[in-house]
């Protein structure tokens, strides 16, 4: 067995299952889960129809690199969405379709990390647990940047010692952030690009929540957009990860892409050819249709805005919640220990939220920046989200 497997911690939902074990919630309340960020809105018809029409593609092996039409659709979307300019993305060399960002974020570290005792992977804290697992199984040591209220839940590059940057091979960023929904502004992204140049490391920017935001006039910026504003159209040391799971309510399609530095993607493609994770042709057809359609994405954002508008005022009477700039999460402080709050809420109201400490690690200062908070995903129906907020209000005002 690979000894590095023993370094992996239980996944947050394993911890949550253990926390709830032995508890019998009230039978007169239907279960509501705000714990997992799995979109529940209907998939767009345009993608479903394209998928069904392409089922004859199951009779052939797909290319790991993906069909040229899919890569062109992705390059076109990137160019339009982040105002990169015509021809800024070479669909042949700078785009690679992947089976969802989860597997790609993990696999990318395996392909890029040069194993030696001093290899570091820097990541935000709290974080998507794949970052940590990817670092450990690539033989690297994670280093955590606290994303707490003192820094508007954004990573602070100055919190990382120069000695750590010197050992860093890969930096994971997440914008909009999971779990906070905080959006990294262009100057901060550009600061990280400058550090990557100075210390010669790669930036992997997880942007899978980029299409769920509140202000239609101000979509969240991305890493490639930041590089373009610096005149950096070679995308050197920069790669971005995007997915149809959140944007298009297609988590089961397992479709996303990586784009950016052509040299890095060249080596990643070689790795993936051996990895065996090409997208089936029907999946690629549905993906093309989804990336080329924005109507369903705007409708999706409107539905999330409606939920936040209904839920936040109810919760604000009992919790210090604010609507995030983006994503479908609420990242709220709790009046008691976060795990205790989640356990007792489940026991009293048959409602599941995720303790923030399960998404974080102890930092070098001995603090867990997720402690004392819970993540609530507003992915259920509007009616269920409102009911969940009312249950939390009742739970906290009961006495």
Going by C-beta distance under 8 Å and a sequence separation of 6 or more, which residues neighbour residue 57? 280, 281, 282, 284, 285
- 147 with 276, same domain? yes
| Domain end call among 293, 326, 347 | 293
Give Cα separations from 322 to 33, 180, 315, 330 (angstroms).
20, 10, 9, 7
Domain limits at 393? 3-42+296-397
- 13 with 58, same domain? no
242/78 Cα distance (integer angstroms):
10
Q: Could you give the number of structural domains in the chain?
A: 2
| Domain end call among 293, 328, 362 | 293
- 275 with 195, same domain? yes
User: Which segments of 26-119 are extended strands (E)?
Assistant: 32-33, 95-98
Q: One digit per residue, pLDDT tens: the chain, 399 residues?
A: 888 889 888 899 999 999 999 999 999 999 999 999 999 999 999 999 999 999 999 999 999 999 999 999 999 999 999 999 999 999 999 999 999 999 999 999 999 999 877 899 999 999 999 999 999 999 999 999 999 999 999 999 999 999 999 999 999 999 999 999 999 999 999 999 999 999 999 999 999 999 999 999 999 999 999 999 999 999 999 999 999 999 999 999 999 999 999 999 999 999 999 988 899 999 999 999 999 999 999 999 999 999 999 999 999 999 999 999 999 999 999 999 999 999 999 999 999 999 999 999 998 888 999 999 999 999 999 999 999 999 999 999 985
- 285 with 160, same domain? yes
Domain of residue 56, CATH code: 3.40.640.10
- 269 with 133, same domain? yes
Can you give the length of the chain in residues? 399
Phi, psi angle pair for 245, to nearest 5°: -60, -55
Domain of residue 35, CATH code: 3.90.1150.10
Q: What is the pTM assigned to this prediction?
A: 0.96
- 250 with 322, same domain? no
Give Cα separations from 230 to 21, 38, 193, 236 (angstroms).
52, 35, 10, 12
- 178 with 280, same domain? yes
| Domain end call among 246, 263, 293 | 293
Is-contact 131 104, C-beta < 8 A?
no
Give Cα separations from 145 to 63, 89, 157, 271 (angstroms).
38, 31, 8, 29
| Burial readout 217-256 (b: 16 or more C-beta within 10 A, e: otherwise) | eebbbbbbbbbbeeebeebbbbbbbbbbbbbbbbbebbbb
């Amino acid at each position: 067995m690979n000894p590095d497997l023993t370094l992996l911690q239980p996944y947050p939902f394993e911890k949550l299952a253990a926390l709830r074990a032995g508890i019998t919630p009230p039978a007169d309340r239907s279960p509501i889960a705000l714990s997992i960020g799995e979109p529940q809105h209907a998939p767009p018809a345009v993608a479903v129809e394209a998928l069904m029409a392409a089922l004859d593609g199951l009779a052939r092996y797909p290319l790991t690199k993906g069909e040229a039409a899919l890569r062109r659709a992705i390059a076109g979307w990137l160019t339009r969405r982040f105002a990169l300019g015509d021809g800024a993305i070479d669909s042949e060399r700078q785009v690679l379709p992947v089976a969802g960002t989860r597997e790609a974020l993990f696999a990318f570290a395996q392909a890029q990390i040069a194993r030696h005792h001093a290899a570091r992977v820097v990541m935000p804290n709290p974080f998507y647990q794949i970052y940590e697992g990817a670092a450990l199984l690539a033989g690297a040591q994670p280093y955590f940047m606290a994303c707490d209220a003192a820094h508007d839940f954004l990573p602070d590059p100055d919190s990382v010692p120069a000695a750590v940057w010197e050992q860093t091979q890969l930096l994971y960023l997440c914008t909009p952030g999971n779990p906070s929904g905080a959006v990294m502004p262009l100057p901060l992204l550009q600061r990280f690009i400058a550090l990557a140049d100075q210390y010669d490391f790669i930036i992997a920017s997880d942007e899978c929540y980029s299409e769920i935001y509140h202000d239609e006039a101000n979509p969240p910026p991305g890493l490639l957009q930041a590089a373009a504003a610096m005149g950096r159209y070679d995308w050197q040391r920069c790669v971005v990860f995007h997915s149809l799971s959140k944007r298009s309510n297609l988590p089961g399609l397992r479709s996303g892409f990586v784009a950016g530095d052509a040299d890095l993607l060249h080596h990643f493609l070689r790795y993936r050819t051996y990895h065996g994770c090409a997208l089936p042709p029907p999946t690629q057809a549905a993906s093309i249709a989804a990336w080329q359609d924005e109507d369903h994405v705007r409708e999706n954002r409107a539905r999330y805005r409606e939920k936040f508008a209904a839920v936040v005022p109810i919760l604000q009477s009992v919790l210090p919640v604010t609507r995030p700039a983006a994503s479908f999460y609420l990242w709220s402080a709790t009046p008691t220990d976060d795990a205790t709050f989640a356990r007792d809420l489940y026991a009293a109201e048959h409602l599941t939220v995720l303790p923030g400490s399960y998404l974080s690690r102890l930092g070098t200062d001995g603090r867990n920046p997720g402690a004392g908070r819970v993540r609530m995903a507003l992915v259920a129906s509007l009616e269920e989200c409102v009911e969940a907020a009312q249950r939390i209000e009742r739970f906290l005002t009961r006495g």
